[in-house]
Structure 1
Amino acid sequence: MTNHSDSQVPRQEIFKNVQANGNITVGNITQIYKTVNNLGELPKPTGFPQNIPASNTDKFVGRERELERLHQHLQSNHSVVIAAVEGMGGVGKTELAIQYSLLHLQLDNYPSGICWLRARESDIGLQILEFATTDLGLQPPEDLELPERVRWCWQHWRQGETLIVFDDVKNYSHVKPYLPPQPSQFKVLITTRLKLDLASSLFLEVLSETDALLLLAQLIGEEKQNQELALAKELCQRLGYLPLALQLVGRYVKKRNITLADMLKRLEEKGLGHPSLVVKENDPTWTLNVKNGVAAAFELSWSELSDDAQQLGCLLSLFALAPIPWSLVEGAATEQDSEELEDARVELENLHLLQGGDTYQLHQLIQEFLRNKQNNLVNADEQKDNFCKALVEVAQSIPDSPTLQLITSVKDAIAHLAEIAQNLTDAVSDENLIWVFAGLNRFYSGQGLYAIAEPWCQQCVSVVQTRLGEKHPDVATSYNNLAGLYDSQGRYSEAEPLYKKALELRQGLLGEEHPDVASSYNNLAELYKSQGRYSEAEPLLKEALELRQGLLGEEHPDVATSYNNLAGLYKSQGRYSEAEPLYKKALLLRQRLLGEEHPDVATSYNNLAGLYDFQGRYSEAEPLYKKALLLMQGLLGEEHPDVASSYNNLTGLYKSQGRYSEAEPLYKKALLLRQRLLGEEHPDVASSYNNLALLYKSQGRYSEAEPLYKKALLLMQRLLGEEHPSVATSYNNLAEL
């Protein structure tokens, strides 16, 4: 607590300087609050009519700029000025108005009185009369009606600037008849949960992390906070930086003398229902003048909502704590008329329960409050079902190779899909269950973000197995997807048993004649090819091609993929004359079926170019490599493993032609991209080390080549095993050096 005697002199000097200057700045206000925690602690000047209520806080922090702006609004001209402080329940609107009133009481800016009115109560007119008679000594005629008596008071008020505060206005039309006349000496300050859209409205946000920590430290002690700083930050975040919540929880921690870890655990168990966040009637001992707990503060806003707005609030609570696209809300509320839905949204916005424009956001404690309400809805299960269906539709729209454009179009839905995966799988139907995780996997692994995709694939196996049992096609798919992720990361020994499990399950459940069985053959074969196990790969690739042709017909993207993959095997074996017609077939099919602007078409260009490159047909290879690179950059963005591969391939061509100055920066680009996207432990990174070493060797830069060759060899041995052809090549390269 501040020592008043030590700080009194500088504080009085600040007040005098401000009074002389006639204008108060953020700097002045900051200086004042550095010398005193709360202006309510100061002796109030005598001779001023005022009924400012007691402060609700020990320490007032983080609102200096708002206090300055508020004064600017109120002093903008000499007619009646109405400034409104708007915001959600618990954000500190009333406290800001109290501190503003106390500050300008000390500065003598409202010499004719500061009149505080409790606007949520119905007797506003009587409150004005009481202040006028008790504090100003006015005697309005008894024979007038209440509105006329109030008007008489305004007319006979003592001369000089006056501040009238209407605190917690819930209906502006109820206040309007009691506003002072214009032009006049009166400045009117309104605090409200409503969105009034006045020219001088000030929207009050939650505290910054810095100010929230400052407030918490004042309540629990700086030493305790410094000892548990990481937990203090977590607690502030858990409470959404809401001043009311921080006040209540901080006092609870201090009173109980518990650790912040304990407090977080208790909040996790009981949420808004925890005693720290509930203010009991007739128990002001540790809550000062706070009358409502957090849930009770929100309840005041909830009670103002129509049934439709309450329903929408409950639906919004199911979304993650992330921006919510309105299109997703419409998708989840299909039974409601779009205009009625908009009306409900406007109600929530008007009470500051919802913020946003194209996307919307709930404060986390409001979300928690609304989730509690949602659990008690008669149609709670139906609402969850519709919510999940809307997000599953998004998941199903994500292809295996999503373009940058598609990634951008669905990215705002991903956090909400993850929310379902984490907390709402019980509300997802059996047939849609796998799609929740498949959508997340495709979104992340399609961008090369394998580390983020992995836990979703692992969770998918667990959740789908538990729900559907081992003998189910979706379990096979979940094995396949996890294997594919490991395969993409070069983790072949982990991928193989999962691919085999998926194949066996599919054969047993679906029979041999099924597209999913063909996919399993293809995936296992591609794994073998990556490991140099060509004799095992070839029959599986042929089996996959024949199955797909028979089941899907020639005109199908999966058939094109089979042609492409079989061609790749032949190229790896040096069977170029067999590979070329298959690569061309795959390219033509993909162009016809998918259009030119597709990642698979870019892959076909790249693969055909690679074949020509291997054969020394550089003039045919270069334009195809460049086409592939431009397509991939446009479709996938610069930060993608396939773009890194394109750089690498084009660079290999330049090296083969002796165009070293063009090759080196691209090799380095490819290496850095692969390291960033795939991590150090990946075969493609080893390949990049090897290729850059080859370039240096070709230029006679042997001292630079050797460490890269060694790095590549060690990585390949560790990742691919000693028996892989690439390891043999690495030994050979190092030996030739």
Structure 2
Amino acid sequence: MSAEDKSRDIDISKGDYNEYIQGHYINGDFIQIINLPQPKLGFPQNIPRSNTDKFVGRKNELILLHEQLQNEGNVTIAHLEGMGGIGKTEMAIVYSLISLKDDIYPGGICWLRCREENIGLKIVDFARTKLNLEPPEDLELPGKVDWCWTNWREGNTLIVLDDVTDYDGIKSYLPPQSSQFKILITTRLKLELANPLYLEALSETEALELLSELVGSEKVNQELATAQELCQRLGYLPLALQLVGRYVKRRRISLSEELRRLEGKGLAHPSMKIPEKKSTWAVDIERGVAAAFELSWRELDEPAQELGCLLSLFSLAPIPWSLVESSAEVQDPEELEDIRLELENLHLLQAGDNYQLHQLIQEFFRDKQKRLANTEEQKANLCTAVARVAREIPQALTLDDVTYFTPFIPHISETATFYQNSLRDEDFIFSFANLGRFYQGQGAYEPALVWRKQSLSVAKERFGEFHLGVALSLNNLASLYDEQGIYEGAEALYLQALEIHKKLLGESSAEVALGLNNLAHVYCRRGKYTEAEPFYLQSLELKKNLLGELHIEVALGLNNLAELYRSQGKYKEAEPLYLQALESYQKLLGESHPNVATSLNNLALLYHTQGRYEEAEPLFLRALKLRKKLLGESHPDVALSLNSLASLYHAQGRYEEAEPLYLQSLQLNKKLLGESHPNIASILNNLAFIYRNQGKDNEAKPLYLQSLELRKKLLGESHPDIAASLNNLASLCHDQGRYAEAETFYLQALKIKKELLGESNPAIATSLNNLASLYDDQERYTKAKPLYQQALKIAEAALGENHPNTNIIRQSLQYTLAKMQS
């Protein structure tokens, strides 16, 4: 172990906290928290903000805690036990801040909230976002957690498990037996662990000092005996003292009057030292905290009490006020603001850009909410308001959308998880479905998968196996699998959804038409073009029968069929369909509409593929101009148009014109979608390709690698885009004469394609041709010949004998045969 990794002493007993906490200063026996210390740039930590203004005493406990955590044996666990409001979390925060300032844990400080979060997901998320670790996608969650612990940053590491309510439920996620990890648990439970650190109430001296800071030392000195009795009645609890002290100061009443008001509230607690064998101690003491809250509760008007109860139903997260306005019975905004101010003035509601309840206050209000006459009505109103927001989450998310909807997500999750019975049937599925959409739209496939699967599970439980909500959930999960390249799984789910729609709605419905379209799409992705075509045709025919020849859905069907034919190289069949789709959109929507721009772009792509560059360019330019006009300069479709136009110039060898367009598209995608999105990986790949064509191999390779790394992060190790990136890297190595590396990459790409797409996909023909070309250049003709022959057979079957790719493979084979005969 290096000197930096050895345990270190912190002499907190000196009383000089400023030595260890930057921005904090000592005043007697309490720390006044001003701001957090600034960690080193990139240091892995997520210590939460403190919930209190002053942290009193605890010097001896902090020293003991640190000593326990510096045990050099196996994995060290220290746990703080005590009642709610006793200051366990605050003590853990202060210890973390001291450790952060003094570099006690160079491996990082990972804070995990255990009450309502999936700890496994949070550990993986911390490892990804703070340590840049990427656990293999093929592992289950426990395996990913174990992988993260194994590959963690070097050096002692503090893991804080805050507010543990089910130790057995999190035990499997704890780090392995390694002295690197120091675990700090806070809990209200009495855990069967060695050497518990019971966090008792403040001493009388500490409690009096805190009360003096809140109400003034002059008042305490004048009524010292009463102040001592008041502290005793409040159980020397920091939270209770904070609330009562603020109440006294705001009301300008004496401490004696405060004691009188507290009579009958059950706050005369016994000593705060925890009896060893009393299993219910935490519950008994918490009643004292509730009594302290009761004082503020009595000061509230009935509307404010009802608002507090409503707020308690939200997630323990910042609450967008618009959600409260939509959920509350009071409809007048100014009246609702006045009611809110009552809660703020009593420090029952934390105000800011959004609003939040302290955890204990939330629990107190939730207990009151259960006793309201309109308790179920409040839940129903909240669920309706939250579901309304969930329905607004768009299919195609921009970064602005993500920013806007992020504060709503915890509350959509809360209602979907805890208030399912209060969700109306028409809102039920959308709450789950659009949580999945929110994450899937960002390329965050792991949380998306959790919600997609949960949506299907709860839909079956609520509605039975055959219900439209179940079919919707099947379709959504299939779409996620489709994006991830899990085509067999997607196909199976699409088939199940289609079967339900047929049974419930008959063979001729819009939903059946959509299902046929989805199946055709996944067949296209797998290169099963002959299987895709009849489904596209059935879907299109059904749409025409239901909606007529001139309809937006019919135009979409024409476009999809055209895309299939373009992929097959059936350009003559594709062109009239693209033109029909464009004409329909223009008739239905006018010349200036986003769908018209998309249709123009698709037709241009066809001309580009055919080498009809002079016809493609004006269409690309029209689409780009129209999208900028309709959608603004900053929109994903504009980025798509820039990329398409750059690709055209690239194909024409107009590299100086293509490069800035690729860069604009890249910059815009990063702005709209963030740094980690499949679109970013695609553009990086395109940029690398253009640099390679310009002979700038040193600039191309790192971009290829970035693209590959990002695709692995987003899509897993096995996806067609991964195969494409490997193929491009192989091609670069091939051109540079690095044949061994090229062969490895070509073979990896071929293996992935076969696993995902089967043996007869056109993409297999491309990989076989590339590998054969490598062997050809090495004069390994006996290895090249059978690969060319396999590639040609696949291409002729899948694409036809006259497809450009088929012709290229045939010519390569002929050249090789000629070389073998010479």
Normalising by structure 1, we get a TM-score of 0.63
Q: Hey, what does 1:98 align to over in structure 2?
A: 208
The aligned counterpart of 2:247 is: 170
Specify the alignment match of 2:283 in structure 1.
277
Instruction: Report the Cα offset of residue 538 of structure 1.
Output: 0.6
Q: Does 1:456 align with 2:447?
A: no
Give the partner amino acid of 1:706: E
Instruction: Select 2:407's aligned residue among 408, 412, 415.
Output: 412
Distance in 2 separating the partners of 1:472 and 1:581: 39
Which residue is 1:325 aligned to?
A: 320
Structure 2 counterpart of 1:255: 276
CA spacing shift, 1:605–1:63, aligned 2, 3 Å: same
User: Structure 2 residue aligned with 1:724, among 761, 766, 778?
Assistant: 761
TM-aligned CA deviation for residue 464 of structure 1: 1.3
Superimposed CA distance per residue, residues 180-200 of structure 1 (whole angstroms, 9 cap, x where no aligned partner): xxxxxxxxxx99xxxxxxxxx
Q: Distance in 2 between matches of 1:381 and 1:166?
A: 30
Distance 1:166 1:610 in 2: 67
Deviation for aligned residue 1:691: 2.3
Q: How far apart in 2 are the matches of 1:678 and 1:173? A: 57
Q: Which residue matches 2:487?
A: 492
Which stretch of the first structure deviates more once superposed, 720-729 or 706-715? 720-729
When residues 417 and 597 of structure 1 are mapped into structure 2, their CA distance, relative to the original with a 3 A threshold, is farther
| Structure 1 position 481 matched with structure 2 position 476 | yes
Contact 1:430 1:468 in 2 (8 A): no
Query: Where do residues 338-417 of structure 1 align in structure 2 (5 Å cutoff)?
Result: 338-417=333-412
1:338 is displaced (CA, Å) by 1.8
- Residue 721 of structure 1: CA displacement? 3.1
Report the CA distance between 1:300 and its aligned residue: 2.6
2:751 counterpart (702, 714, 726): 714
- For 2:368 and 2:514, locate their aligned partners in 1 and report how far apart those are by CA, in whole Å: 46
**Residues 647, 667 of structure 1: 8 Å contact kept:** yes
Bigger relative contact order, structure 1 or 2 (CA pairs below 8 A, ≥6 apart): 1
SS of structure 2 residue aligned to 1:512? coil
> What is the RMSD computed on CA atoms of the aligned residues?
4.8
**CA distance in 2: counterparts of 1:709 and 1:60, whole angstroms:** 55
1:570 is matched with 565
Question: What is the CA-CA distance between 1:426 and the residue it aligns to?
Answer: 0.7
SS in 2 for 1:279: helix
Letter in 1 for 2:222: C
Higher mean C-alpha displacement, 656-665 vs 681-690? 656-665
Matched, 1:667 2:704: yes
The AA in structure 1 aligned to 2:247 is K
Give matches, 1:57-96, under 5 Å.
none
Going from structure 1 to structure 2, the CA distance change for 1:34 and 1:455 (only over 3 Å counts) comes to: closer
Maintained 8 Å contact 2:688/2:701: yes
Q: Give the C-alpha shift of residue 453 in structure 1.
A: 1.0
How far does residue 14 in structure 1 lie from its aligned partner after superposition? 8.4
Deviation, structure 1 residue 668:
3.5
Shift of 1:557: 5.1
The CA distance in 1 between the partners of 2:577 and 2:671, in whole Å, is: 26
How far did 1:36 drift?
6.0
Q: 1:635-674 alignment to 2 at 5 Å?
A: 635-649=672-686, 664-674=701-711
Alpha-carbon distance in structure 2 between the residues aligned to 1:249 and 1:543? 78
* 2:201–2:272 contact (8 Å) kept in structure 1: no
Offset, 1:689: 1.4
Distance (whole Å) between structure 1 residues aligned to residue 88 and residue 723 of structure 2: 61
Q: Kindly indicate whether the alpha-carbon contact (under 8 Å) linking 1:249 and 1:277 is maintained by their aligned counterparts in 2.
A: no
Paired with 2:704 and 2:596, the residues of 1 have a C-alpha distance of: 23
Give the deviation of 1:389 after TM superposition: 0.8
Cα shift at 1:311: 0.8
Query: Where does structure 1 lack aligned partners over 5 or more consecutive residues?
Result: 1-9, 16-23, 39-55, 66-89, 104-108, 124-164, 180-189, 192-243, 259-273, 281-291
- SS of residue in 1 equivalent to 2:355: strand
Q: 1:698 to 1:36 in 2, by over 3 A?
A: closer
1:466-545 correspondence runs (5 A): 466-545=461-540
Give the CA deviation at 1:525.
0.4
In structure 2, what is the equivalent of residue 26 of structure 1?
26
| Equivalent in the alignment of 1:623 | 645
Structure 2: gaps (5+ residues): 1-11, 17-23, 32-55, 63-85, 96-199, 231-241, 260-266, 618-643, 648-660, 775-822
CA distance in 2, matches of 1:498, 1:637: 30
Change (3 A) 1:715 1:673: same
Counterpart Cα distance in 2 of 1:685 and 1:730: 13
Distance in 2 (CA, whole Å) between partners of 1:439 and 1:603 is 25
Measure, in 2, the Cα distance between the counterparts of 1:596 and 1:422. Answer: 43
What SS class does the counterpart of residue 26 from structure 1 fall into? strand
Instruction: Provide the identity percentage.
Output: 46
Contact 1:502/1:520, CA 8 A, preserved across alignment? yes
Tell me how far apart the structure 2 counterparts of residues 33 and 481 of structure 1 sit (CA, whole Å).
Answer: 54
**Shift of residue 368, structure 1, vs aligned partner:** 2.1
Matched-pair contact (CA < 8 Å) for 2:223–2:255: no
Contact 1:26 1:64 in 2 (8 A): no
Query: Per-residue CA shift, 1:446-471, capped at 9, x if unaligned?
Result: 11212111121111112112212223
Residue identity in the other structure for 1:99: E
Mapped contact 1:602–1:629 kept (Cα < 8 A): no
Cα separation, 2, equivalents of 1:512 and 1:672: 45
- The Cα shift of 1:357 comes to 1.9
Q: CA deviation at 1:535?
A: 0.7
Distance 1:650 1:588 in 2: 34
Give the Cα separation in 2 of the matches to 1:374 and 1:446.
36
Q: Which amino acid aligns with 2:468?
A: P
Of residues 714, 722, 737, the one that matches 1:677 is: 714
The one-letter code of the counterpart of 1:170 is: Y
How far is the alpha carbon of 1:484 from its aligned partner?
1.3
Q: Deviations over 1:142-169 (max 9, x none)?
A: xxxxxxxxxxxxxxxxxxxxxxx99735
Greater Cα shift, 398-407 or 657-666: 657-666
Match of 1:302 among 297, 311, 329: 297
Within 2, Cα distance between the matches of 1:699 and 1:606?
A: 35
Q: Which amino acid is the alignment partner of residue 691 of structure 1?
A: N
- SS in structure 2 at match of 1:355: coil
TM-score by length of 2: 0.57
In structure 2, distance between residues paired with 1:333 and 1:371: 16
Match of 1:114 in 2: 221
Cα deviation for residue 317 of structure 1 reads 1.3
Measure the CA separation in 2 of the matches of 1:561 and 1:119.
79
Partner of 2:304: helix, strand, or coil? helix
Deviation at 1:112, TM superposition (A): 13
CA distance in 2 between partners of 1:549 and 1:303 (Å):
66
Distance 2:704 2:313 in 1: 47
Query: What's the counterpart of residue 236 of structure 1?
Result: none
Match of 1:262 in 2: none
User: Aligned with 2:285: secondary structure?
Assistant: coil
Given that 1:169 and 1:175 are in contact with CA atoms closer than 8 Å, whether structure 2 keeps it comes out as no
Tell me the amino acid that sits aligned with residue 757 of structure 2: L
**Distance in 2 between residues matched to 1:295 and 1:703, nearest whole Å:** 72
Whole-Å separation in 2 of the counterparts to 1:248 and 1:423? 36
Q: Per-residue CA shift, 1:177-224, capped at 9, x if unaligned?
A: 999xxxxxxxxxx99xxxxxxxxxxxxxxxxxxxxxxxxxxxxxxxxx
* AA of the residue aligned to 1:491: I
| 1:498 CA displacement | 1.2
Q: Match of 2:324, SS?
A: helix
Paired residues in the alignment total 541
C-alpha distance in 2, partners of 1:715/1:307? 65
| Residues 640/28 of structure 1: CA separation in 2 closer, same or farther (3 Å cut) | same
Q: Residue 732 of structure 2 aligns to which amino acid in structure 1?
A: L
Indicate the SS of the match to 1:319: coil
Distance in 2 between the 1:647 and 1:597 partners?
A: 30
Q: Displacement, 1:587?
A: 6.6
**1:655-686, Cα deviation, whole Å (9 max, x unpaired):** 67877677545433432322222222322222
CA distance in 1, matches of 2:510, 2:435: 23
